[in-house]
Amino acid sequence: MSVMALAKALGITLRHFFSKPVTIPYPDAPVPLKPRFHGRHVLTRHPDTGLEKCIGCSLCAAACPAYAIYVEPAENDPENPVSIGERYAKVYEINMLRCIFCGNCEEACPTGAIVLGYEFELADYRYSDFVYTKEDLLVDTVGSKPQRREAKERKKPVKLGFEVPYVRPELEGVKYE
Amino acid sequence: MIWALFVTAVKALVLILALLFAFAYITWIMRRGLARFQIRLGPNRVGPFGLLQPIADAVKAIFKEDITVARADRFLYWLAPFLAFTFALAAFAVIPVGPDGWVVANIDMGVLYVFAVSELAIYGVFLAGWASGSKYPLMGGLRSIAALVGYELALGMAILPVVLMAGTLNLQEIVEWQKQHGYFIIYQFPAFLVYFIASLAEMSRTPFDFAEAEQELVAGFHTEYSSMKFVAFYIAELLHWIVGSALIATLFLGGWDAPFGLPEIPVLWLFVKWALFIFLVLWIWASWFRTRYDQMIRFAWGVLLPVATVWFLITAYYVVKGGMA
């Protein structure tokens, strides 16, 4: 009966009326992300020694389909090494405007140095500000460039707009808070 | 005499302000309510819970460019929103919100007045469709006239048993009759159903909102209107909803009378019953489809009118036999 169908429609909408909205009011509330979300890259370190995992091999740059990565290697000083291998990345830059967040760099990396994290709030004003250098990518840095700039201006800690059920183990030593 | 005129003028002013306030917040209720039916949040950025949204909307509308299309009939184009707005506003004048004196115009022809005025508002819609010189508004205007021919008879026929039973056309007296004998929704349930369905068409709400079907007609009769002229139509449209709901509450649910022996407070009980119908219409809006206008006309003539007529004859027989007198 069509009348029953109409009543059923009313029932469905009434049930929805009393259920919790699915909308996430994003800037006010954090966005729930999945652990495998592809966000801003992180250059990880060895947890014991604190040495960088990156050995400056440029395989990530070779794997990058968007040509977003630039690596310039240099020889390690044996007395005071930066990384575990013979060489380390003297310059490591990722252009976040070119990056398509495919994760090929992470796949290509032989030492697991470059890993895609969760940060996605990268919007900024100048082209040059989208080139993330080693300092911006290393594990201890929390927040994107604009976020850190804003935090510095307001003298408040960086506020991240997401939450994850757990941080996947590849992101060794990364702490989001 | 002058004092009475003054009192009426003040009452009218208060009513107009109240109605415009109700309109402003009905847009908020509509948007938030529809959003909740669709598991969304709705506008919540302006003020707490988005409560200042109507003010933001008003400011936006005022500063929009007022466009008159080149092929428009200028006089009628200007007149149409004015007509729609005025008549929609005027219809509420006879609806009592409380016992003696809580009504702007306590006239003996109350029911007829409401019908006459709220149907005059259709001229606004039709003239807008005609004067815009554009095909979508024309289609919208034609549809609303075609629908009027359908639902108006059913609407009038559904009101007759109520009038017969109460023995008066005065809305205040109808409410007082219900206060004494019980609400008409109990005695006149078939009439209530017919009236409610037909008044959905009168308010041009889902499932009979084909006069402004977005998917087919852009925005129907007010496609070519912008700025405050558009706002006038928007107010008129929502006022039909407001007045229609208040009228059903008055005719079938006892108006301002306090139900279940609760203390009698003017305005409050009519407001509660009114809110019930506002919600009901919103609920239907969120749930149902839109009919084709020929389907609606066939339904109005083929189902609503015969049901209302038969029920009217039954009531007439009952009243003539001396029941309820």
Q: Extract the tokens encoding B77.
A: 């184009």
Going by their DSSP bridges, the two strands A87-95 and A41-43 should be labelled as unpaired
> Which residue from A minimizes the CA distance to B280?
A10
Contact residues, A window 25-64, toward B, CB-based 8 Å cutoff: 25
Q: Does A16 touch chain B (CB under 8 A)?
A: yes
What is the separation of C-alpha B215 from the centre of its chain, rounded to a whole number of angstroms? Answer: 24
Cβ pairs bridging A and B (under 8 Å) = 36
Q: DSSP string of B95-129?
A: --SSSTT-SS---TTHHHHHHHHHHHHHHHHHHHH
Over range B146-155, report the average pLDDT. 84
**Token pair 């013979």 in the structure block, residue:** A86
Residue A91 lies in a domain: yes
**Nearest in space to A70 (alpha carbons), one of A9, A134, A140, A127:** A134
Q: In whole angstroms, what is the distance from residue A157 CA to residue A176 CA?
A: 12
> Which residue from B minimizes the CA distance to A20?
B39
Going by their DSSP bridges, the two strands A69-75 and A41-43 should be labelled as unpaired
Beta carbons of B44 and A25 less than 8 Å apart:
yes
Closest by Cβ to A13, choosing from B37, B40, B44: B37
Q: Does A4 touch chain B (CB under 8 A)?
A: no
Q: Does A17 touch chain B (CB under 8 A)?
A: yes
Given a contact cutoff of 8 angstroms between Cβ atoms, the answer to whether A70 and A61 are in contact is: yes
A100 has pLDDT over 90: yes
Better-predicted residue by pLDDT, A39 or A175? A39
pTM as predicted: 0.79
Beta carbons of B284 and A17 less than 8 Å apart:
no
Residue A119 lies in a domain: yes
Domain boundaries, chain B: 18-63, 74-320
| pLDDT score for A177 | 65
Q: Which of A81-90, B48-57, B58-67, B208-217 has the lowest mean pLDDT?
A: B208-217
Beta carbons of B288 and A9 less than 8 Å apart:
yes
Beta-bridge partner residues of A114: A43
Query: How large is the C-alpha radius of gyration of chain A?
Result: 22
CATH of the domain at A70: 3.30.70.3270
Q: DSSP string of B173-203?
A: HHHHHHHHH--HHHHTHHHHHHHHHHHHHHT
Rounded to the nearest 10 degrees, what angle do helices B110-131 and B74-90 cross at?
Answer: 160
- pLDDT of B245-279, one tens digit each? 988 998 888 878 878 777 878 788 888 889 999 99
Over range A80-99, report the average pLDDT. 89
* Other CB atoms within 10 A of residue B35 CB: 19
Q: Does A80 touch chain B (CB under 8 A)?
A: no
A27 has pLDDT over 80: yes
Cα Dmax for chain B: 63
Q: In whole angstroms, what is the distance from residue B222 CA to residue B140 CA?
A: 8
> Which residue from B minimizes the CA distance to A28?
B45
The alpha carbon of residue B35 is apart from the nearest alpha carbon of chain A, in Å, by: 8
| pLDDT score for A63 | 92
Q: Which of A5-14, B78-87, B214-223 has the lowest mean pLDDT?
A: B214-223
**ipTM score for this prediction:** 0.72
CA distance to B71, B253, B254, per residue, from B186 (Å): 52, 9, 11
Q: Which residues of B touch A21 (CB under 8 A)?
A: 35-36, 39-41
B325 has pLDDT over 60: no
| pLDDT score for A1 | 61
Q: Does A2 touch chain B (CB under 8 A)?
A: no
Beta carbons of A16 and B38 less than 8 Å apart:
yes
